[in-house]
Each structure stands twice: as structure tokens, then as C-alpha cells.
Amino acid sequence: MIDELELLRRHVDATVDPDPDLEPIRRRLMASIEEGGAVQSPDRRHLARGSRARPARRTAASVVGLVAAAVAAAVVAFLVIGSPTPVHRAPRAASGPFPSHLSVGRQLRLLADRVADRPTPHLGAGQALYTRSDLSVLADVNNGTAQATVGLSVQKWSTATGQTCTTLTARPAQFASPSGQAAWVGLGLRIIPQPAAASQCLEGGAGAMPPDAITGAGQLIDVSSLPSDPATLARELQSGTTGIPVLDQLLADLAAPNPGFQRAAMLLIGPTTGDTPQFESTLYQAIALLPGVTALGPMTTHDGASGQGFASGPGSGQSTIVVDPTSGQLLEVRGLDDSDSLTSIAGNYLGGGALQVNEYSDQLQWLDPVGAPSVIGLSKLPAGLPVYVFATTRPGLTYDQALLPVHRVAQPYVSSFTSISSEITVQSDPNGGGTFQWSFAGPGPIVDQFMRTLRASGLFASVSEI
Amino acid sequence: MGDVVGESATDADLIVASLDDPQEFGGLFDRHGRAVHRYVASRARRADVDDVVSETFVTAFRARSRYDRTYGDARPWLFGIATNVLRHHHRSEHRRLARLRAVPRAPEPVVDLSEGVAAAVDAASESDRIDRALDRLDDRHRDVLLLAASADLTYEEIARALGVPVGTVRSRLARGRSRLRELLVAGGQHEMDASTVTPSCEGSLE
């Protein structure tokens, strides 16, 4: 019997050519070096995303992913415990819809004035920012063989350190016709995903990975490092050089029209930290400076709210935001290039029978933030968010020596664990110590008590929680 | 022209030398091209592998002036770039796995299959099952699992490759292994190593 890593090693050994012909690649590299020897200042985006030319506009074929590529994450039916405290938003300047004769730039600058004094959430230790959005996604399977509209509710809880937990809850798929439904089912797909919710938690930090999607497992975006000068911010948003991977890499392979507008919309969607009223004001001024932005006048969102519309450019097929002209709060986003909205939950649509799914794509149709971001205490986080405890044995205690006493220490807590694993720290050294890992279903006093017990046992050099 | 840096030179030495003489960068490929190729081949569509490897080294070449020379070994840096390039190609990666899924499973051996054929069928089925399980993993978990298993990087090296804290690597590896095990069990009752579960606690878990 072998463990997962060894299994993967053998799998790679068995499936990868052990003696590939590298000479053609070397020749190409050296040719590139000869041609590109003059490259003195590499583009940050090239480093992050590679240098291949992007398609001019995403097509159905270019956005394909896989239904089964989705993470069928451990599903927890979350209920928000307690009532989050809404962040009060008080307009400073005169409120109400904008007069139709105002230019788009003037409207956005007026909006910037109105948000300049608006309080923004401040996250302290022991707190989390809670946001919720409803959205609609068009899913296309096997290049038009089957299509469905999927409604999702996305809830996020983010701590000041950037750890973000996301829960997607899907509603039953909707079809344009009975034959459309038959095509969907005929591919082995469920109408109601099983389970209907998927949850995922990501660590934060400067090196954290970018999200799969705006609406997926996206992390908290720290905007404190963004420029306070609107022109500089507009330039960085447009070119994807903000230095925030979540923003810069999001659209790098799509060559979307007016990417600056889409990145600005993503900042409006959030969740963000380091936010100030001045930043929001700067953001609206920056949007005013983006090329091609147009005013759409009064608009009504899918849930009936009235707002002022702005588009990334003239004509159809543009990204659109609808904002409350009084508060500057985002009411709706439409047509955002977000082709991975379903990633975290798509696998839950797979039925148990024979699958005939080769590829799928999805397109966000609209997203409505529900309420304003709220700050809640960590003690009110939903039960079920995973907590991992790591403990590394003290020097001189071998893995084998540690196993039994560690088990005795952990035994009283076994019923609280969702998983247990352990490994020898230095695998090549039979006398090496070990790292033990326990996962809990949710935070709480039991975790603290368990960690105190581990530390008091004298078995471990370090005990940490992630 | 090129190759003036001796074999005892570190990767950092090679990279520094390539700032003056770009041809020296070829030495880095000679050292690590095969390892990067193996890693990329474990993740990308076969037709894309050479492109991804080439793009990885060209990207590294362009970024070499910002290489942190305190690290003598450039493998984590190269694998980190390869992972980013692969992410750009991730849809092709998924498509590769999609085709694997679309291929009908090998028929169960019914009668008189020689031992060799039966073993081959079992191996193909097992490989397919692992591909399916990998396919369903989150990108973050797949990254750390394959950097550990395919690229043979340590926790610290994976952390450097991905630009995340070591604790995050441990967390992702633990979750990734756990998730992979679940998927493998769900997909085919693969026998997993009991040593990855504290033995006497195992029976108590749900």
C-alpha cells in the first residue's frame, strides 16, 4: 500500500516520457534568447502569465473548462449565525439621480464626491467581513449541445489577514425549453446539484494564489497599496499592473474590452480591505478616466433597485455597472468576463451515470450584491469552516516513538475531527520526527482546548493552527 | 560565447553570468530542462508540453534580472514560473483530462486474458482513475501535490515556487492529499496507505 504522493510519483513515472527529446526546445530557447537578448525590463505580466499572444476576444471554445474540473469541496450548509452589523453609508453631496445632460465624466466625478465621506468597513482582530451576492450564470456544455441558466448565491467571510471562506449555493438549473432540459439530462447532468452548496476556505497573505473566479473562491483584496492618484490608478487598472495578482491576472488571458473597467468593477464587488472613502472616491474618478466609458442613464436591476448605469464602452456586449447615485454603492454588474463562476460547484451537477461531457463554458450574466458589506465577530462565523492544527514533534522524539503517545493525547478529541493524518518530517531518516495534522469541522473552544493539550503534552516543538 | 561558467557554479551564478552573456542561460536549461519537462508533462496536454517548457524558460530569461541571488538553486523559481504558465494553459490541461474522461473505460476482463494483458488493463484503469481524481482537485491543491510528487520539491521549495508561506503549503498538501484520497476511494476504492492515518484513531473517523 502506498500513500498519495507516492501514488502520484508512480503515476507520473508511468505516464510521462522518461527521455524526451529536449533539443528542439533548447534550440527554440536559444533562438528566443538571441532575438530577445535586448529585453532589459521584463513585463511583470509576462512573468506571471507567460508571453503567449491572447485571443482578441473570448469565444465559446476559448473559455472551455471542464465540469468535472470543479472542486467538489466538502459541503457545509451554512447559516449565518447572528445578524451582521451593516456598515452605515451616509452620502455627503446632494443625492438623487443625475441630470441627463451631464457628461459621463461629470457623473462619475459627482459620484466620487458623494462617496468621499462614506464610512467603510474596518476589520479588526477577531472580526470578519461578510458579503453576499446573487448571480446568474449561463452554462454551455459541449459547445452548445446543452445550455442552462444557473442561479447562485455567494457568501464570503474574510478576516483581516486575508483568509476567506466562500460558500456557493446553487438553485436548480433553468432551461429555455423542455428540449433544452432533455439535452442537459441526456448528458448525464443533474438539474439540482448534489449537494446544492460548496464551500472552500483559502489562506490569505501576500503570496496567496489568485482566485479561480470573481465569484468563486476569491480572496479579500487589499487595496491599501493602490495609488491615490486617479490617473495613475486608471493606468494601472487598464494595463493590469496594480501589483495585486487577483486583479492583474484575472483578465490576462482574455484580452477583454476595456479591462480597466472590469478590474474596477471587481474592486467594487470586493470584498476589499484597506478600503477608505477616499479610495472609493479615487476609484470612481479613475473609472471616469478610462477610455470609452459611457453613461447609460437610469437603470433597474434584476431585484428591482433603481440606479445609474455605466458601460465599459458603446454598443452591446459591454460590461455594465449599476450604482446607487446617492450612496455610490454597487447594485449590479452585468457582462463581466468571468468564465469560472461555476468552477467550485460544477462537479456537483455530474450525475452518477455515464458522462458525455467533454467541455463546458460559463458566462456570468449578472451579479447583484445583497446588502452592504458587514463586519461580524469571528465567534459568529458559521460552524463547519475547516480548521487545521499542525504539530511537529520535539527534537529527539522519533515518529515511531511519538505515534502512540500522540494518539493517547488526541484520543479524547477524535469525535471532533474530520480527518487525521501524519507524516515523517524527514522521510529519508528513519529516526526523523513527525508532523501530525488534524482537521476540525469548525472553529470553537474545542480547537483551543486541543491546542493547549498538545502544547502541555511536551511531545511537540511547535503547535500551530491554520 | 556562453558556457564559460563552470559546472561547479550555482544556478544563481549562471543567471548572473547570463546578464552579461545571454547564451549562458542555456546552461540553466541543460541543468533543469528535463525536470521542468517532466513536471509540465504531468500536467499539460502532450501537444502543449514543449510550448509550455519553452515559454517557461523564455519567461525566466526575461525575468532573470530580478532573480534573488541568495538562492543558489533555481529549481523552485523555474517550477513557480512553469506553474504560472501552466495556469494560463489550464484549460488545455482540463481538456486533456476531459478527453481521458471521454474515453470509455477498458472493458472488464471476462475470460482468459493473459496475466500481462490483465495487468495492462488494470494499469490503464488505475491511471485513468488517478487522472480523474486529479482533474477534480482544486488548482491550489493540484499545484502543491504535483510540485511535491512530480517535481520532488520540499515544502520550503514549494513555498518559494508559489510565493506562499510554508504553513500554507503544508495546509494545502494536507487538504490536497485528503481530497485526493476521497476522490480515489470514491472513484475506485484504491487502497491507501494506512500510515497516513494515525492507526489506532482510524476506525473512529467517519
In this complex, is the C-beta atom of A98 within 8 Å of any C-beta atom belonging to chain B? no
Domain count, chain B: 1
Could you give the C-alpha distances from B185 to A9, A195, B22, B94, B134, in angstroms and in order? 18, 19, 50, 21, 13
Residue B1 lies in a domain: no
In this complex, is the C-beta atom of B37 within 8 Å of any C-beta atom belonging to chain A? yes
Would you list the domain boundaries of chain A? 4-49, 61-380, 387-465
Interface of A with B in 276-335 (CB under 8 A): none
**Cβ A437–B174 below 8 Å, yes or no?**
yes
Higher pLDDT, A283 or B5: A283
Residue B6 lies in a domain: no
ipTM: 0.76
How many whole angstroms separate alpha carbon B38 and alpha carbon A15? 10
Q: Which three cell numbers stand for residue A285?
A: 474618478
Residue B94 lies in a domain: yes
Q: Is the pLDDT of residue B65 over 60?
A: yes
Query: Do the bridges between strand A272-273 and strand A221-222 make them parallel or antiparallel, or are there none, so unpaired?
Result: parallel
Question: Torsion angle of alpha carbons A421, A425, A426, A427, nearest 10°?
Answer: 0
Could you give the C-alpha distances from B98 to A70, A148, A415, in angstroms and in order? 12, 20, 38
Conformational region of residue A450, where left means phi above 0, alpha means psi within -120 to 50, and beta covers everything else: alpha
In this complex, is the C-beta atom of A459 within 8 Å of any C-beta atom belonging to chain B? no
Determine what percent of chain B falls in helix, strand and coil, rounding each to the nearest 5. 70, 0, 30
Residue B112 lies in a domain: no
Domain of residue B37: give its range: 11-103+123-191
In this complex, is the C-beta atom of B3 within 8 Å of any C-beta atom belonging to chain A? no
Task: Calculate how close chain B gets to A315, using CA atoms only, in Å.
Answer: 29
Per residue in A297-312, pLDDT tens? Answer: 999 998 888 999 999 9
CATH topology of domain A387-465: Alpha-Beta Plaits (3.30.70)
**Cβ B175–A415 below 8 Å, yes or no?**
no
* CA B164, B166, B167, B172 torsion-angle sign: positive
Q: Given this model, what pLDDT does residue A465 score?
A: 64
Per residue in A376-401, pLDDT tens? Answer: 877 676 766 666 677 888 888 887 78
How many whole angstroms separate alpha carbon A135 and alpha carbon A152? 5
Q: Is the pLDDT of residue A317 over 50?
A: yes
Residue B115 lies in a domain: no
Q: Are A158 and A219 in contact (CB under 8 A)?
A: yes
Q: Which residues contact A251 (CB under 8 A, 6 or more apart)?
A: A240, A259, A262, A263, A337
Q: Given this model, what pLDDT does residue A288 score?
A: 93
Please state, rounded to an integer, the average pLDDT across all residues of chain A: 73
Of A257-261, A350-354, B31-35, B170-174, the range with the lowest mean pLDDT is A350-354
Reported as a pLDDT band with limits 50, 70 and 90, residue B30 is very high
Per residue in B159-198, pLDDT tens? Answer: 888 887 888 888 888 888 888 888 887 765 443 333 332 2
Q: Are A180 and A146 in contact (CB under 8 A)?
A: yes
Residue B86 lies in a domain: yes
- What CATH number does residue B48 fall under? 1.10.10.10
Which pTM does this prediction carry? 0.51
How many whole angstroms separate alpha carbon A446 and alpha carbon A412? 11
**Cβ A403–B198 below 8 Å, yes or no?**
yes
**Cβ B26–A29 below 8 Å, yes or no?**
yes
